[in-house]
Every structure is written in structure tokens, then in C-alpha cells.
Amino acid sequence: MDHFDYRDGQLHGEDVPLATIAQRFGTPCYVYSRATLERHFRAYSEALAGHPHLICYAVKANSNLAVLDVLARLGAGFDIVSVGELERVLAAGGDPARVVFSGVAKERHEMARALEVGIKCFNVESLPELERLDEVAGECGAIAPVSLRVNPDVDARTHPYISTGLKANKFGIPVDDAPAVYARAAELPNLRVVGLDCHIGSQLTELAPFLDALDRLLVLLERLEAQGITIEHLDLGGGLGVPYQGEQPPAPFDYARALLERLATWKEGRDLTLLFEPGRSIAANAGVLLTRIEYLKPGETKHFAIVDAGMNDLIRPALYQAWQAILPVDTRQPRETAIYDVVGPVCETGDFLGKDRELAVAPGDLLAVRSAGAYGFVMASNYNSRPRPPEVMVDGDRSYLVRRRETLEELWAGEARLPENR
């Protein structure tokens, strides 16, 4: 459920007509709904009430400061993958003690900064990373809290680019190697083992892979206990899918219930604090990309609706053949219906937002690409020297510009011509 609905034929974000936002801030433009972000976060926190837990929003999904701020105010933790994301969390008022640091290639300076601000945990993905972290912690005079990201080798049955829990993926430590790596972690002087974690993929629409992964982690946990290694928290990563095109992914409530039931049957698991790293399920349907039709181009085999947003603004359709709903913002004018490919201005055949969409539109009309709150703006680029779009947060009947449109000068800020005498 989200807060983008038609009222009297006009698409609104909460109480604000999207047409008003386009008028105020121009297009293309990302629009987020605070109430939707809050609702999705609470779906997790309420599902887990009664069990010790921490919901660490995956910053990579949408790292705008206002989004982080909204979630921080609800007590969210954050899952980060770079020092850049860490600094964003701090700038947005997030609590470093609720931050977990994922990612396969953490650099020394990133580790040092995370130790300096006192994050909750490093999700370590390899033995060399573990050894580097021990060294850096030693240099900083700190003890690093660690969790090992284990690769449970389960098939998440999702798009291959966003599946991460198979042996063939670069992520995590193979489950069979984990006991030895934990033993090494316990031995290293500047580390403290606190957790066990996994993330098997993204946009999962069934519970079975999550439960399979949990089973494998619990077997490992039993083994670790026998080795004398105590785990305080179990981090199950993110990955819960969202309905883009009629999918019916499990709700956080059903997901949590199934996990808690399974955990209750294990004496090792019962009292563990549960961590989650949801990104998409919190942010995707809390955002739309607003775009205006520049031209309608009839063709012999296809009609094109050429819009002012392109693959540089929203790359998911081009990169993953992702399907996202495209809706007219104002349905009050009579229009002829036709089937269109909705394409952008970028000089690439792959520059489309949607294919074969039935739309009743005219040039100048506004469209909203739905489910664009996650992996939308964060994956935007300046390709074709296109300034990145602004981001707006609606909150009830108000809207706030939370990132302004880039200027043309910003496109080459930081670049330089060669010296004249060369």
C-alpha cells in the first residue's frame, strides 16, 4: 500500500496533485511520499515487536538525506556499503551505533572512519577482509565488532543480476568455510564476534528461499556454539520484493512470522536479536518519477511516446528489463488510446522506460513512472550530459524540495582543460 492515488482524475502524492509538483519543480522529477516510507518501515517494526530486533534500512536503495531523516526519526538503523553512505547517515541524524557495514571491498580508510564513529557491526565478506579489519582496528586502538556474511548457496529465484546467495556469486563466505573463518576471527586480537549474516538476493517474491537460508544459518550456528563462539545477532539481509507488475510478495508480517516460528524451534536461535536490511520494500513504492511527453511519434510498427526522462534518470528498465507501471497524471481530458513504447531522449536503443504500454495521452501530458523510490535516483547518471533530476518529498499537503536539479555548470565542475601552453 502506498499514498499515490487518483482523486477526481488527478494522480496525487498524499494530498498534493503531482501536476502541481511538476509545475513547481519541473520535469523530470522524483517524488517521494513520507507517509509511505513510514508505513513500510512500520510494517517491519510492528511485525517484529515483541522480539529483539533492529531494522537497518539499506541506504543504497535511496540515500537522499530527507529519506534517511524520515527513517532515522522512527528509530531505524542503516545498512551501508561505503563511507559515502556512512557520512550521509550521519548528516541525516542517523545513529552510528545502529549502522551495519556491508560490501565486499571495504577500504582501510572506510574501516577507520566506521570505527571512529562507533558503528554497530562490520559484515565481513572474506578472510582477507577480516585480517585487514583486525589490522586497522589495531592501528585505531579499537575493537571491531564483526559478523561474517555467509553465502548459504540458496537460489533466490530472482533476476540473475540481483541474486547474491549462490556459490557462483562474489558475495559472502561459503557456508562450509565459515567455521574456520569464525575460528580465525575469534583468534584475532582486535575483533569481537557479534553476529552472523546473509543476504541472498533482491526482489524475492516467495518465502521459501529465505527460510532455506535461515535453516542453513541455524545449522552453522549450532556448530559455532560447539566451537565456543557466541553469536548475539542474526542479520538476514534485505531482499523482500515489491509488486511491480502484479507480483504478490509476502508482507513483512508474514515474513517475520515465518522466521520467528522457525527460530523458536531452535534453542540456539530463540534469543538472538534479529537484524534486517530492507531497501526496496521500504522505498520502491514510496516514489515515482514524473516525466513529461515531449513528442508522440507514430510509426509503422510502433508508436513512441518520447518523454523528458531517460535511462540516465531511471536505468532499471534498460539494465534489468524491469517493468514499472507508467500512469497518466491527469485523466480528465479525453484522449485517444494507443499502444506506445515510452522512450527517453538518450541516444541508445535501450533507452526506454516501458514498452507496449496502452496509454491515452497527448504531447505535453505528464506521466508518472511508479515504484521508482528504490534504485531510481541513486542509479542516475549524467550520461548524455543530462543534469540529474530534483527530488521532492511530499508530506500531507506539503511538498519539499529535498535535492535541487543539477545545473549545467555542475556537469563539468571538477573537470579541467589542459594548460594553454601544451
In the complex, what is the shortest distance from the CB of residue 79 to ligand LLP, in angstroms, rounded to a whole number? 5
239 appears as a binding residue in the annotation: yes
Neighbours of 363 (CB within 10 A): 12
The verdict on whether omega for the bond into residue 334 sits within 30 degrees of 0, i.e. cis, is: no
Q: Cβ 61 to ligand LLP, closest distance in Å?
A: 5
Position 98 contacts ligand LLP (CB under 6 A): no
CB of 312 to ligand LLP, least distance (A): 15
CB 281 within 8 A of CB 367: no
Residue choice 79, 125, 268, 365 for contact with ligand LLP (CB under 6 A): 79
Taking CB under 6 A as the criterion, the residue among 13, 96, 152, 239 binding ligand LLP is 239
Q: Please give the grid coordinates belonging to residue 372.
A: 521508482
252 annotated as a binding-site residue: no
Nearer to ligand LLP, 16 or 124 (CB): 124
Can you tell me the distance from the alpha carbon of 233 to that of 194, in angstroms, rounded to the nearest whole number? 6
Least distance CB 160 / ligand LLP (angstroms): 12
Task: Read off the C-alpha cell for 343.
Answer: 522512450
Buried b (16+ CB within 10 A) or exposed e, 43-61: bbbebbeebebbbbbbbbb
249-288: contacts with ligand LLP (CB under 6 A): 277-281
Grid cell, residue 224, equals 559455532
Strands 77-80 and 53-58, sheet pairing:
parallel
Q: Does 58 bind ligand LLP (CB under 6 A)?
A: yes
Please say which residue, 58 or 394, places its beta carbon nearer to ligand LLP.
58
Q: Which amino acid is at 74?
A: L
CA dist., res. 165 & res. 172, Å (int): 8
Nearer to ligand LLP, 144 or 150 (CB): 150
One of 33, 63, 64, 102 touching ligand LLP (CB under 6 A): 102
Enumerate residues 2-21 that contact ligand LLP by CB under 6 A: none
Beta-ladder partners of 144:
191
Q: Which is nearer to ligand LLP, 266 or 383 (CB)?
A: 383
Q: How far is the CB of 216 from ligand LLP (least distance, A)?
A: 17
The Cα–Cα gap between 138 and 131 comes to 11
C-beta nearest to ligand LLP: residue: 238
Piece in contact with ligand LLP (CB under 6 A), picked from 180-188, 232-240, 359-367, 391-399: 232-240
Interface residue with ligand LLP, options 30, 32, 182, 375 (CB under 6 A): 375
Nearest distance from residue 128's CB to ligand LLP, in Å?
18
Q: Which of residues 140-179 bind ligand LLP (CB under 6 A)?
A: 162
Answer yes or no: is 46 a known binding residue: no
Asked if residue 95 lies in contact with residue 56, where contact means CB atoms within 8 angstroms, the answer is no
277 is in an annotated binding site: yes
328 forms part of the interface with ligand LLP (CB under 6 A): no
The residues assigned a catalytic role are 347
> Is 244 part of any known ligand binding site?
no
Distances (CA, A) of 353 to 162, 243, 253, 359, 402: 19, 17, 32, 13, 24
- Of 289, 306, 245, 293, the residue nearest 379 (C-alpha): 289
Over its C-alpha atoms, the chain yields an Rg (Å, rounded) of 23
If you search the block for the grid coordinates 518465502, which residue do you land on? 207
In the list 113, 216, 316, 388, the residue contacting ligand LLP (rule: CB under 6 A) is 316
Q: Which residues pair with 289 in a beta bridge?
A: 30, 369
Q: Judged by CB under 6 A, does residue 377 bind ligand LLP?
A: no
DSSP 246-278: S--PPPHHHHHHHHHHHHHT-TTTTTPEEEE--
Grid coordinates in use for 268? 540456539
Q: Which is nearer to ligand LLP, 162 or 362 (CB)?
A: 162
Cell numbers at 6, concatenated: 487518483
Binding-site residues for pyridoxal 5'-phosphate, in ranges, read 239, 277-280, 375
Binding-site residues, in ranges, read 239, 277-280, 316, 320, 348, 375
Binding-site residues for substrate, in ranges, read 280, 316, 320, 348, 375
Binding residues for ligand LLP, per CB under 6 A? 58, 61, 79, 102, 162, 199, 202-203, 237-239, 277-281, 316, 320, 375
